Amino acid sequence: MPHIAIIGAGPAGLIAAETLAEAGHAVTVFDRMPSVARKFLIAGRGGLNLTHSEPLETFLARYRPQAPLLLDAVRAFPPAALIAWCEGLGVETFVGSSGRIFPKTLKASPLLRAWLARLAARGVAIRPRHRCIGLAPLRFATPEGEVAMEADAVILACGGASWPRLGSDGGWTALLPGLAVHPFAPSNVGFAIPWSAKLAPFFGAPLKRIALTFEGTTQRGEAVLTATGIEGGAVYALSAPIREAIARDGSATFTLDLRPDIALPEVRARLASRGRGETVSATLRKALNLPPVAIALVQEARHQGHAGADLATLVKALPLTTRTAQGLERAISSAGGLDWGALDARFMLRAQPGVFACGEMLDWEAPTGGYLLQACFATGIAAARGCAAWLEDR
């Protein structure tokens, strides 16, 4: 029976292990952390957004770059298949108001427990505290010292470089000298904005039902002010083009619409009807029902170089300039990774036959909304199927 070593016990590695075990192979999963799927569990604290219900071609358009191998992998294991897999573990799902799909438990831990039980039943061995330090031969650093292993094939599912404290720090690049790896960059991340001290009472306050616009693209959602800037779903959705603009131009300015459901003429008319002697803050609150954090942002803009701006314009297109994205340690995911040209159609490294790669260590990024986990599962399965086919050919 061929033995396959999988490096990385995140979603991509675990689903690759399951796929190969079902095909009758002996599988051992190695991970450098003391326990598995740490990032998966942290993501589950916010509800575990598994995938999305939008049409598949719309879904596929969310990925950057549009790598054919990635898109074909998702087509072969689409959202419907991920939902069926989840429910096959006894975890029911539901579609949220935004079209996102979650387990009804809204947690990752019940799903992970059921998944690990299935893997154990199928003979998958998991070896924590094993940090891979070489592929030829396969070697690991462990608390007991260095150990060598034998395997007929290896699947790398080492993750990207975001949230490094959870295990994925991009250190796997040392295992693949000579291969093209695009530099890691934070994705789905907030941006630094130098707020004045007057905004300090509003750090952590949510901005709900707002819209952000950058370079002609508008994203509705929510955001939150932090001591260092702004983050949240609406910001994350535009983080890739904003990050690229900063790299290109040194800064980026996006606009914040605090009342996207009210057109500019109506906003202007409501503000014009304010009573004599009424403060700007009172007018914004009474005429537009703006929350305190939104009013504070308008006042901040008026005192930070936009004193002459029309009040209605600030409500509908409040400019925010940033020069820095938050770091990889704060990013939900990462851009960059192993170049797609390093892989053949089976997700095998062209330069190292018998070594395959999948998951976030490959060069792709996507917004939050279920696209991240979907691609990790889909590429994990694609690499496992490619590995099984290669072993069969041998």
pLDDT at position 76 is 98
Query: Is 307 a residue whose pLDDT tops 80?
Result: no
3-class secondary structure for the chain? CCEEEEECCCHHHHHHHHHHHHCCCEEEEECCCCCCCHHHHHHHCCCCCCEECCCHHHHHCCCECCCHHHHHHHHHCCHHHHHHHHHHCCCCEEECCCCEEEECCCCCHHHHHHHHHHHHHCCCEEECCCEEEEECCEEEEECCEEEEECCCEEEECCCCCCCHHHCCCCHHHHHCCCCCEEEEEEECCCEECCCCHHHHHHCCCEEEEEEEEECCEEEEEEEEECCCEEECHHHHHCHHHHHHHHHHHCCEEEEEECCCCCCHHHHHHHHHCCCCCCCHHHHHHHHHCCCHHHHHHHHHHHHCCCCCCCHHHHHHCEEEEECEECCCCCCCEEEEEECHHHECCCCEECCCCCEEECHHHECCECCCCCHHHHHHHHHHHHHHHHHHHHHHHC
Query: Is 309 a residue whose pLDDT tops 80?
Result: no
Query: What is the average per-residue pLDDT within 170-192?
Result: 96
pLDDT at position 277 is 77
Query: Is 278 a residue whose pLDDT tops 70?
Result: yes
Instruction: Note the pLDDT tens digit of each residue in 215-248.
Output: 999 999 999 999 999 999 999 999 999 999 999 9
Query: Is 133 a residue whose pLDDT tops 90?
Result: yes
Which domains are seen in the chain, by residue range?
3-185+331-393 (3.50.50.60), 191-325 (no CATH)
Query: Is 274 a residue whose pLDDT tops 80?
Result: no
pLDDT at position 124 is 98
In the block, residue with structure tokens 């619409």 = 257
Choice between 241 and 278, residue whose per-residue pLDDT is larger: 241
What percentage of the chain exceeds 70 in pLDDT? 99
Report which of 175, 146, 182 is spatially closest to residue 161, judged by C-alpha positions. Answer: 182
Report which of 384, 340, 341 is spatially closest to residue 63, judged by C-alpha positions. Answer: 340
Amino acid at 109: S
Q: What are the CA-CA distances from residue 75 to residues 69, 79, 88, 379 (Å)?
A: 10, 9, 20, 10
Query: Is 365 a residue whose pLDDT tops 70?
Result: yes
pLDDT at position 262 is 97
Pair 52, 237: CB distance under 8 Å: no
In the block, residue with structure tokens 């039980």 = 117
Instruction: Note the pLDDT tens digit of each residue in 198-210.
Output: 999 999 999 999 9
Gap between the Cα atoms of 213 and 216, Å rounded:
6
Sign, CA dihedral 379-381-385-388, equals positive
Pair 243, 185: CB distance under 8 Å: yes
Query: Is 49 a residue whose pLDDT tops 70?
Result: yes
pLDDT-derived band at 357 (thresholds 50, 70, 90) equals very high
Query: Is 167 a residue whose pLDDT tops 70?
Result: yes
On average, the pLDDT of the chain sits at: 95
Query: What is the average per-residue pLDDT within 28-48?
Result: 92
Query: What is the average per-residue pLDDT within 6-21?
Result: 98
Query: Is 114 a residue whose pLDDT tops 80?
Result: yes
Report which of 355, 379, 372 is spatially closest to residue 153, judged by C-alpha positions. Answer: 355
Gap between the Cα atoms of 15 and 164, Å rounded:
21
pLDDT at position 45 is 79
pTM of the predicted structure, to 2 decimals: 0.93
pLDDT-derived band at 323 (thresholds 50, 70, 90) equals very high
Query: Is 308 a residue whose pLDDT tops 70?
Result: no
Query: What is the average per-residue pLDDT within 162-191?
Result: 95
Choice between 274 and 27, residue whose per-residue pLDDT is larger: 27
Q: Is 159 exposed, middle or buried (0-12, 13-18, 19+ CB in 10 A)?
A: buried
